Each structure stands twice: as C-alpha cells, then as structure tokens.
C-alpha cells in the first residue's frame, strides 16, 4: 500500500508540473518569455501560486526549463535532417528549409528562442544550444568538404557563422512588429536563406 501511495503521489506531482509547463508555454507562444509570470501561470494551470513555487523556485527556473525543452526539440529536428539520407548538399538545403519554415510557422516561439532579450541565465542557455546547432552543422560541412561538394574550409568557424547567419536572417521577419507572411513570401524567404547557406558552403549545386 505504501508503494502504491508513493507512486500515486509522484504521478500527481509530475502531472501538476507538466500542467504548469504547458500553461507557461502557451504564454511564451503568445507573448514570449516576457509574458510569463508566476501568478499568471499558476492561474492558467489551476494551481495555487505556492504550489507552483514548490515545482519552480522562481520565474528564471521555470523559463529555463521551457527554453531547454523548446530548444532541444529544435536541435533534434536539425539533427534529423543533417544526419538524414542523401548527399551533403541536399541535406544542408533541407535542414535550412526546415529550420526556417518551422521558425516562420511558430514565429512567436522562434523569436523568443532566437532574439528576445533575456536574463543572463537564459542567454547562457541560448549560447549552449547555438553550440549544439553548430556541432551538427560542422559535421555536415565536414562531410561535404570530404566528398568534394563544398569548398575547403575551417568547418568549426563556418558552422558557427552559418548558425549565426540563420538566426540573424530570421530576426527581422520574426519580430513581433513584423507583418505576417503570405505563402509566397514564406517560400521566398526560405529559399533565399537556403541559397545563402549553400553559397557560404561553396556548393556547386544550384537550387531548382
């Protein structure tokens, strides 16, 4: 009986924690991390504010977990494409297209992850995940250099620069004050970013 009671209590704790994270994520999706406050999230999650603080001791702890969860999903997406099938050029193009398209579709979250002003703890998380992206791009660039698809380069520097280029090219279009995209504008932006990355890699293959 004691074991079942403990298991039930733990299940309830995890369920409450997830409800809090889900409520906080909805605030980020609508207004970035600035829209997250402990009292508002507690109300959205239908928990007492004191209960919320038992799960996350302050807003920074809550936002850090949100940032890590959302960023890890995006890193996993990039990994899926960089390590997929096909030649290095095609995988680079598909990786960039997918990254840009996902950012445009989820523009509020993407802007929050890429460019929203954050406190130092979250800025450090942002740097950590930029390095994770860069490692995936570096492996792909190195493969392309080895196969002769890309020009010779320092892949460590090139990968970091490519991640920065991807982020910077999306900041303006994703900004809260920017206008919404129609499908043709989305395609144009995505394809231009893709061409830019292929040129940066020295790819000899043109996009169709």
pTM over 0.85: yes
Average pLDDT, the chain: 93
* CA nearest to 82, candidates 37, 142, 123: 142
Per-residue model confidence as pLDDT tens digits over 93-142? 999 999 999 999 999 999 999 999 999 999 999 999 999 999 999 999 99
Ordered mean pLDDT values, 10 residues apiece, the chain (208 residues)? 68 92 95 95 96 95 96 97 96 97 94 95 96 98 97 97 96 91 91 95 73
CA-CA-CA-CA torsion sign (78, 133, 170, 69): positive
State the architecture of 1-57 in CATH terms. Orthogonal Bundle (1.10)
E strand spans, the chain: none
For CATH 1.10.10, the residue range(s) in the chain are: 1-57
State the architecture of 63-208 in CATH terms. Orthogonal Bundle (1.10)
Structure letter (DSSP) for residue 178: S
> How many helices and strands in the chain, by DSSP H and E?
9, 0
pLDDT value at residue 1: 46
């Amino acid at each position: 009986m004691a074991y079942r009671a403990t298991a039930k209590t733990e299940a309830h704790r995890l369920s409450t924690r997830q409800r809090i994270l889900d409520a906080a994520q909805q605030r980020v999706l609508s207004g970035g991390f600035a829209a997250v406050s402990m009292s508002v999230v507690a109300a959205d999650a239908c928990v007492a504010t004191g209960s919320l603080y038992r799960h996350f001791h302050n807003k920074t702890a809550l936002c850090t977990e949100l940032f890590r969860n959302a960023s890890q999903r995006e890193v996993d997406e990039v990994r899926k494409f960089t390590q997929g099938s096909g030649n290095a050029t095609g995988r680079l193009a598909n990786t960039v297209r997918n990254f840009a398209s996902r950012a445009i579709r989820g523009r509020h979250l993407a802007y929050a992850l890429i460019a929203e002003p954050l406190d130092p703890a979250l800025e450090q998380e942002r740097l950590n995940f930029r390095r994770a992206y860069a490692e995936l791009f570096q492996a792909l660039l190195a493969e392309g250099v080895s196969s002769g698809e890309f020009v010779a380069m320092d892949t460590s520097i090139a990968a970091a620069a490519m991640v920065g280029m991807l982020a910077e090219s999306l900041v303006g279009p994703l900004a809260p004050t920017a206008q919404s995209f129609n499908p043709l504008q989305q395609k144009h932006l995505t394809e231009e970013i893709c061409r830019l990355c292929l040129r940066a890699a020295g790819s000899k293959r043109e996009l169709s």
